[in-house]
Amino acid sequence: MASADRLVWDTTTVLEALGAADVALWVWEPDRDRLRLSGASRALGLGPLAPEAASAAVRALVLPQDRAAVEDILRVREPGSEIAARLRMRGAEPCLWRGVWLEEGLRAAGVVAREMRFTASERDALTGLLDRRSFILRAREMLTAPGGFELAVADLNRLRQLCNETGTLLIYDEIQCGLGRTGKLFAYEWASDAAPDIVCLAKALGDGFPVGACVASAKAAKGMTVGSHGSTYGGNPLAMAVGLASLEELTKPETLANVREITGYFAQQLSGLKDRFPEVIDDIRGKGLLIGLKLKTPNREFMALARDQKLLIAGGGDNCVRLLPSLLLTREEAREAVEKLERACEAARAAAPAAA
């Protein structure tokens, strides 16, 4: 109710409104090892944690693949630090947790709602969130309109789900990341349920010979009747023979196993280089043998230093260099590459004071 100079909230009314909106409030107190919940905790699948629970109970309820996200919520941060995480609890729909640290090491608080509620113009009056059905309608309207636009999603599984809901074709560009480069035949296979309708392939498909392919599901290709989709050099007999020979090698289990083994070696060794040369290497990115090093040294200068060591690396955006070795790279060859990278890092570090 309202008085002459201030607004007074009725706690029961607020909690009932939160429950009706399928939204819950949470407060995390690490010093007491206590998470408190109020609002629609049961509807969100958080009933076992309400009205309060220890961190062990939260870790036990969340699905194993989301435990890292739970730790990110529970980790103590500086006051004002924001919290944003997607969690899947056992037997419940995915939920988004948003909040902020109010007092360092003492308290964080925020709101939790179902994942399929998004901020938009048609907002719920209480939560400011758009319900799932309205979001799908708006997304379908955007995706069928002419022109280009950007859409950001958290992972490929949800992108596949969104395309299913809107009747949109999902097309992946796996020209560089596909055909074993990440340790699986296709990069999208690292997601659990994100198969595309169409995927574009090239590069490794010809092992250096110019060849590309557009692979489509039967449903996506039903409009490609004879004569409706062609290419001047499409179906070139030599290119097809090369592509088949390349695929035979790329699809061998031992080839993909080698990628995963060498990936593990590079991950360990490059992490060591980053620790030894923090003034040169800022971050390590990528998947499998599609490796990116974000540098503090200008990347073009570092590429020249690597070339001086007889090591060829590619440039990239965000001041990165890319390492794209053969999928058949041996452990000995990988060790030699790391040694050359280390000498390039030493040269970059030595040149830094002179440049300053």
Instruction: Annotate 321-356 with DSSP letters as a single string.
Output: EEE---TT--HHHHHHHHHHHHHHHHHHHHHHHHH-
Helix/strand/coil for 249: helix
Residue 121 tokens read as 């113009």
pTM of this prediction? Answer: 0.59
Q: What percent of the chain shows pLDDT beyond 70? A: 81
Structure token pair of residue 247 = 């695929």
Q: How confident is the model at residue 146 (pLDDT cuts 50, 70, 90)?
A: low
For the chain, the 3-state helix, strand and coil shares in percent, each to the nearest 5, are 40, 20, 40
Instruction: Say how far apart CA 356 and CA 353 lie, in whole Å.
Output: 5
Residue 309 has pLDDT above 60, yes or no: yes
- Give the rounded percent of residues in the chain with a pLDDT score beyond 90: 47
Mean pLDDT of the chain: 83
pLDDT tens for residues 192-243?
Answer: 889 999 999 999 999 889 999 999 999 899 888 887 777 888 888 999 999 9
Tokens 């695929």 found at: 247
Q: Where are the alpha helices (DSSP H) in the chain?
A: 11-20, 55-61, 67-74, 132-143, 156-166, 237-250, 253-276, 299-308, 331-355
pLDDT at position 121 = 44
Cα separation, 25 vs 28, in Å, equals: 10
CATH 3.20.20.70 fits 254-355, yes or no: no
Residue 132 has pLDDT above 80, yes or no: no
Residue 13: is its pLDDT beyond 50?
A: no
Confidence check: pLDDT of 137 > 70 = no
Q: What is the mean pLDDT of residues 110-137?
A: 58
Multiple choice CATH, 11-114, 1.10.3210.10, 3.30.70.1050, 3.30.450.310, 2.60.120.10:
3.30.450.310
Residues 213, 199: Cα–Cα separation, whole Å: 8
Q: Which of 82-96, 129-143, 202-216 has the least mean pLDDT?
A: 129-143
> CB atoms < 10 A from the CB of 297, how many?
23
Q: Does pLDDT of 17 surpass 70?
A: no
254-276 CB burial, b ≥16 within 10 A, e <16: ebbebbeebbeebeebbeebbee
Convert the pLDDT of each residue in 167-199 to its tens digit. Answer: 888 999 999 999 999 999 999 999 888 999 999
Of 186, 183, 190, 189, which is closest to residue 205 (Cα–Cα)? 186
Decide: 86 and 98 in contact? Cβ < 8 Å. no
pLDDT for 248 equals: 94
Examine the pLDDT at 28 and tell me if it is beyond 60.
Answer: yes
Question: What is the per-residue pLDDT for 284?
Answer: 94
**pLDDT of 23 higher than 60:** yes
Q: Which residues contact 223 (CB under 8 A, 6 or more apart)?
A: none
CA distance 283 to 270: 10
CA–CA separation, 335 vs 332, rounded Å? 5
* Burial of residue 280, with CB atoms counted within 10 A of its CB: 0-12 exposed, 13-18 middle, 19 or more buried: buried
**Quick one: which of 199, 200, 197, 208 has its CA closest to 243?**
208
> Rounded to whole angstroms, how far apart are CA atoms 204 and 186?
12
**Domain boundaries defined on the chain:** 11-114, 170-250, 254-355
